[in-house]
Structure 1
Amino acid sequence: MLRSLFAAAVTAVLAAGGAAAQDFPTRPITMVIPFPAGGSTDLVGRLIAERMTAELGQPVVVENKGGAGGNLGAAQVAKASPDGYTILMGTVATHALNPALYKKMPYDPVKSFAPVSLLAIVPNVLVVNPEFPAKTTEELIALLKANPGKYSYASSGNGTPLHLSGELFKSLAGVDMQHIPYQGAGPALIDVISGQVPIMFDNLPSSSGHIKSGKLRALGVTTAKRAPSFPDLPAIAEVVPGYETYTWNALFAPAGTPPEVVAKLNAAANKALTDPKVQARFNDFSATPVGSTPEELGEHVKKEIAKWAPIVKATGAQLD
């Protein structure tokens, strides 16, 4: 009798859970962006959140939670209820770089999340204050070699793709400059534009408007080839052979989120990427829309971890 009652109770709970997943979403969804407002992850996240809101019929509300190179925001989502109402705009930093950089991680990049969809590939860019004497990557390298340790560069934080872009540049170009970490690309850009720090590695989306307006001077993109939106801007690799970095954005839910919920989030995210307005905005800052299945994103994360671990080790970068 007791066994029958227990089985009936379990069946009822499972049925209720299935119904909840089928009705998802019935209330607002929080998209955690693990960096402050103003950077490329924030730009991509807000574009996708707005379009997903239309698709899902419930608000997708952006919450910026920066700190620890993206670890704080990612950990918040990893520990959230696996019901689909808290999702993460993950990046190469949160899921590939940080596991190699930090001695202790507050989450597992593979086991703590349910992959939803790979959204975009984003180039980085080397920029300087317009008053800075170097007008090309060649001139910058010459200036840095003539003045080792004199100049500094800003990034969105310790261990971020932008930090590693700078460290890889130093290593391959044979130059020395000081790293100034900020709590996100937005605050770093303010200081570079004002001249407090002369050099920065940034995501192209967050710098593109400032480059076009003349508030920043771009020296080169970090991808192996030139960016379509800035065809006259050389790739750093044209001057420093072998140099290549970039970032990506992807959507994740907490591990254990029901497959039906993941499927609805995946469909909404991938539909957002087909919107002409989203594609046009992505094109403005040279972000390439991707889209994927959850399984494809899961494989992408594993490949990125394997790719970046030796690069991080070669730079000698390590964070507590």
Structure 2
Amino acid sequence: MKKIIAISVASLFMVMSAITCGNAAAKDDANYPTNTISLYCGYSAGGGSDLICRILAEKLTAYFGQTVIVENITGAGGWVMWTQMFQNAKPDGYSIYQINTPNFNLGAYDPANPRKYTYKDVDLLCNWVSDYNAIAIRKDEKRYTDWNSLVEYWKNNELISSASAVGILSDDATIVHRLTKYYGTKASMIQTGGAADNQTMLLNGSTDFMVGNVSEMANAHINGEYKIICVFAPERDKNLAEVPTFKELTGENMIGDSCRGFGIPKGADPKVREIILTALRECINDEAMMAKMAEIYTPVNYVENEEYQALMQDRLESALAAYDRSDELKK
């Protein structure tokens, strides 16, 4: 009887250890991680991309038992960081990169500075969120007070809009481009380092309206800092119930979003790759994490591996179609 009890206790200990450590056995086999892990964000501190990276870094630190730090490398709509990933990063699992769509998968199609890399050149792990676009105006704006009056003003005046991601092929710039085609208007885009800069420019009067993502803008709207007047989503956001969708305003379905996921340089040890993916999957889909994302108005859209590849291809094709460049699809 004592022997049976001893075996049962040992078995229970093994099961509990596996649950507690997440992927402990695999981590031991691959001897990973043993050092600090860098989670790279290509956008400025304070924006939506940076915020979710910092939330995840804290969760991953507890999961791994090793420090995960967020490093912001800004510029060129994320491409300063992604170029570093392709050229300098070692595939050792200690550098994880946030992948922002459509900026990342449209880089090769930038007419001013086409990148030689595509999403097929990185080991895509998983997508985390799909964050819909929105447009806001200052709360004390007198020239227009809602979407319809903004459009009327826009038809007779050239406006300036700052994008939360540098580059004409960002999700923000793409929405503005689609709007100019739809209404026959013009817009000048001021390039910024991220959403925090974009909000500053709106509030200090440097821009006429702001385009960004719901997660980056909802809190300021709710607190009365500025006013969101349209969202480019399939339906109204539950946190912005008073804000209409573009389809409600026009009858036309215009969807725009920024997808944010993660990738690593190709060539990593398969065991290390699986450890990282398992950590991301468990941390992202943890109930507490899901609740936290809801608190910051960020919609989770978790897909991984082949499904993530398919999402990237879909966003690529949709964006090229918006610019009437579908015939260039070759990557």
TM bucket, shorter chain: 0.7 to 0.9
Residue of structure 1 equivalent to 2:236? 226
Q: What is the Cα deviation at residue 232 of structure 1?
A: 1.7
Q: Describe the superposition over 1:176-206 as per-residue Cα deviations: whole angstroms up to 9, x where unpaired.
A: 2322221212111111122221201011111
Residue of structure 1 equivalent to 2:13? none
Q: What is the Cα deviation at residue 106 of structure 1?
A: 4.8
Counterpart contact for 1:123–1:222, Cα < 8 Å = yes
Superposed CA RMSD in Å reads: 2.1
Counterpart contact for 2:91–2:267, Cα < 8 Å = yes
Residue 249 of structure 1 aligns to a residue whose secondary structure is strand
- Distance in 1 of aligned mates of 2:93 and 2:72: 18
Residue 239 of structure 2 aligns to a residue whose secondary structure is coil
The 1:313/1:59 distance shift into structure 2, 3 A limit, reads farther
Q: What is the Cα deviation at residue 21 of structure 1?
A: 6.8
Residue 260 of structure 1 aligns to a residue whose secondary structure is helix
Counterpart contact for 1:110–1:301, Cα < 8 Å = no
**Quick one: which of 123, 134, 146 aligns to 1:125?**
134
Residue of structure 1 equivalent to 2:84? 76
**Quick one: which of 41, 44, 47 aligns to 2:55?**
47
- Distance in 1 of aligned mates of 2:233 and 2:255: 5
Residue of structure 1 equivalent to 2:268? 257
Q: Describe the superposition over 1:274-308 as per-residue Cα deviations: whole angstroms up to 9, x where unpaired.
A: 23332223223432223233232223223322332
Q: Describe the superposition over 1:6-27 as per-residue Cα deviations: whole angstroms up to 9, x where unpaired.
A: xxxxxxxxxxxx9997111111
Residue of structure 1 equivalent to 2:315? 304
Residue 290 of structure 1 aligns to a residue whose secondary structure is strand
Counterpart contact for 1:95–1:305, Cα < 8 Å = no
Residue 95 of structure 1 aligns to a residue whose secondary structure is coil
Please report the TM-score for the alignment, with normalisation by the length of structure 1.
0.86
- Distance in 1 of aligned mates of 2:133 and 2:29: 38
- Distance in 2 of aligned mates of 1:224 and 1:231: 13
**Quick one: which of 162, 187, 195 aligns to 2:205?**
195
Please report the TM-score for the alignment, with normalisation by the length of structure 2.
0.83
Residue of structure 2 equivalent to 1:3? none
Matched, 1:96 2:99: no
Residue of structure 1 equivalent to 2:173? 163
Residue of structure 2 equivalent to 1:318? none
Partner letter of residue 132 of structure 1? E
> Where do 1:1-320 residues align within 5 Å?
22-79=30-87, 80-102=89-111, 103-111=113-121, 113-133=122-142, 134-145=144-155, 147-149=156-158, 151-156=159-164, 157-159=166-168, 160-240=170-250, 241-313=252-324
Q: What is the Cα deviation at residue 154 of structure 1?
A: 1.4
The 1:262/1:289 distance shift into structure 2, 3 A limit, reads same
Structure 1 spans left out of the alignment, 5+ residues: 1-17, 316-320
The 1:233/1:314 distance shift into structure 2, 3 A limit, reads farther
- Distance in 2 of aligned mates of 1:51 and 1:158: 31
Counterpart contact for 1:125–1:222, Cα < 8 Å = yes
Q: What is the Cα deviation at residue 114 of structure 1?
A: 0.8
Counterpart contact for 1:266–1:294, Cα < 8 Å = no
Counterpart contact for 1:125–1:203, Cα < 8 Å = yes
Residue of structure 2 equivalent to 1:4? none
Residue 211 of structure 2 aligns to a residue whose secondary structure is strand
Which stretch shifts more, 168-177 or 47-56? 168-177
Which stretch shifts more, 282-291 or 70-79? 282-291
Counterpart contact for 1:69–1:94, Cα < 8 Å = yes
Residue 237 of structure 2 aligns to a residue whose secondary structure is coil
Counterpart contact for 1:91–1:250, Cα < 8 Å = yes
Structure 2 spans left out of the alignment, 5+ residues: 1-25, 327-331
Q: What is the Cα deviation at residue 314 of structure 1?
A: 5.8
The 1:186/1:244 distance shift into structure 2, 3 A limit, reads same
Counterpart contact for 1:96–1:308, Cα < 8 Å = no
The 1:67/1:20 distance shift into structure 2, 3 A limit, reads farther
- Distance in 1 of aligned mates of 2:116 and 2:34: 30
Higher RCO (CA < 8 A, seq sep 6+): 1
Residue 33 of structure 2 aligns to a residue whose secondary structure is coil
